[in-house]
Amino acid sequence: MIITDTHTHLYSDAFKDDRNEMIQRALDANVSRFFIPAIDSTHTEAMFQLEADYPNLMFLMMGLHPTSVKANYQDELKHVEEMLAKRKFYAVGEIGIDLYWETSTLEIQKKAFKHQIQLAKRYKLPIVIHCREAFNDIFEVLETEKDDELFGIFHCFTGTLEQAHQAMSYNMKLGIGGVATFKNGKIDQFLNQIDLKHIVLETDSPYLAPKPYRGKRNESSYITKVLEKLSEIYGVSEEKIAEITTQNSKELFSI
């Protein structure tokens, strides 16, 4: 069984004391593909080091996270452009809009999001969307960019069934992680109405640990708890969930 974690910040300082051991625990749990989202230029070297330490396991993305969209965002976007021109990445992400931490930057968040979608199209790459308290704004931008070249993942999907269908209408897979195991997560109540061909697995580690680790540091090996939950929701084996979601990720990221 091969399990794919399509969204994990393994370069995070949260793992500085036991990164190698944590990655080994994931490998021991059959997690053997890790897709690594970018945040901003201050994390780029750490991502490259992770890739050098674990060749053939780490698949890097490039992008500017919405919470890093500040006054210098145009310089950060130049960094994204330079990196994409220099070497191979597997997605543009994570990008999007976050209104939980900051609402005053909404307009420049939209500009940065739209610009990076256009970069993804230029390089024929998927986008990986971060959305927090911003579904309407995200959909507004996606609507302006909707075409056959737009595709990707709606990372950490936490919306309604209606919003799920809207996300899928833009050629987005739904990134399902620890929230599916939460008592108040709600997505577990309708996920079985969505074909597994639209689903990929993720942890977003070190954030959003699934039950029974909720509130603690998340890590990629905990994706097995998400797998267990989806097996229960869909009424099929964990092996089948792993097989379908890994195949979805391979097709999406062209690996």
Tens digits of residue pLDDT in 40-56: 999 999 999 999 999 99
**pLDDT at residue 109 in the model:** 98
The full DSSP string for 124-173 is T--EEEEEES-HHHHHHHHHHH-STT--EEETT--S-HHHHHHHHHTTEE
Average pLDDT over residues 53-61: 96
Give 61's DSSP letter.
-
Quote the CA–CA distance of 32 and 38 in Å, as a whole number: 19
Q: How confident is the model at residue 184 (pLDDT cuts 50, 70, 90)?
A: confident
Mean pLDDT of 78-89: 98
User: For the residues 106-120, what does the mean pLDDT come to?
Assistant: 98
Instruction: Name 116's Cβ contacts closer than 8 Å, sequence gap at least 6.
Output: 63, 64, 77, 80, 92, 95, 127
Give the whole-angstrom CA distance, residue 186 versus residue 180.
7
Q: Measured between alpha carbons, how far is 181 from 107 in angstroms, rounded to an integer? A: 34
Q: What is the pLDDT of residue 183?
A: 86
pTM of the model: 0.97
Residue-level length of the chain: 255
What the chain holds in terms of domains, given with CATH numbers, is: 3-253 (3.20.20.140)
Query: What percentage of the chain exceeds 90 in pLDDT?
Result: 98
HSE at residue 172, side-chain half, CA atoms within 13 A, is: 28
Task: For residue range 133-177, list pLDDT tens digits in order.
Answer: 999 999 999 999 999 999 999 999 999 999 999 999 999 999 999
- Name the band, by pLDDT with cuts 50, 70 and 90, for residue 185: confident
Contact 176, 202 (CB under 8 A): yes
